[in-house]
Amino acid sequence: MATTASRTSSAAPFVPEGADLAALRRAAAGCRGCELYKPATQTVFGAGPADARLMLVGEQPGDVEDRQGEPFVGPAGRLLDKALDEADLAREGVYLTNAVKHFKFVPAERGKRRIHKTPARGEIAACLPWLRAELAQVRPALVVCLGATAAKAVLGNSFKVSERRGQVEHAEDYDVDVIATVHPSAVLRAPDRDEAYQGFLADLRVVRSHLGK
């Protein structure tokens, strides 16, 4: 039997060519490019200024984002806000989005909780036309990939965040400079949260100085 991932096709037919961010957001609300739209509450499209110099790319919306329809408004978003602030990068000036625009989850064995499930490679590939369209509209000076899913989506499947975090890369496919770092959820889960947070902050300070050039 076919798996969810192998039935995945592509968001491409849903992406209006040359559309601005508002039109992309409206079109993304009706995306049926893969199966993830079915159990999710809504599409969570990117948010932020169209002329942002910095674009942050996460993995996929979480439980809170799925309900509210905005990226990074849950616990990981709060940690991200604090780190952005400390690194002197105002969230209001940043365009925030995700590699995958629907929340993928499994129901908890007991209770009503929904447990995050990492998107499959086919689901990430299916959603990439949205990210490509956002990049074409925003044309940021720098993209920051938060965690492995975003980094692999933008820099290729062999990219390893653990080996190359905090370094300026160039994504040939999108012709944009990129810095990869850990996902804020990984900081929240780290055994030594303070150490993980300091590492995350150090990477964001590299981002700050790259943009300051």
The footprint of ligand URA (CB under 6 A) covers 58-62, 65, 71-72, 74, 76-77, 98, 185
Q: Residue 76 CB, nearest distance to ligand URA (Å)?
A: 4
Q: Which is nearer to ligand URA, 74 or 122 (CB)?
A: 74
Q: Where are the beta strands (DSSP E) in the chain?
A: 54-58, 94-98, 105-107, 114-116, 142-146, 168-171, 176-181
User: Measured at CB, which residue is nearest to ligand URA?
Assistant: 58
- If the CB atoms of residues 150 and 209 are measured against ligand URA, the closer one turns out to be 150
Identify which of residues 116 and 139 has a Cβ nearer to ligand URA in the complex.
116
In angstroms, what is the minimal distance from the CB of 155 to ligand URA? 16
32: left (phi over 0), alpha (psi -120 to 50) or beta: alpha
What does residue 198 show for φ and ψ, rounded to 5 degrees? -65, -35
Residue closer to ligand URA, measured from CB, 62 or 129: 62
* Tokens of residue 25, six digits: 């957001």
In the complex, the smallest distance separating the C-beta of residue 185 from ligand URA, rounded to whole angstroms, is 6
Rounded CA-CA distance 20/5 in Å is 29
User: What secondary structure letter does DSSP report for 103?
Assistant: -
Q: How far is the CB of 103 from ligand URA (least distance, A)?
A: 9
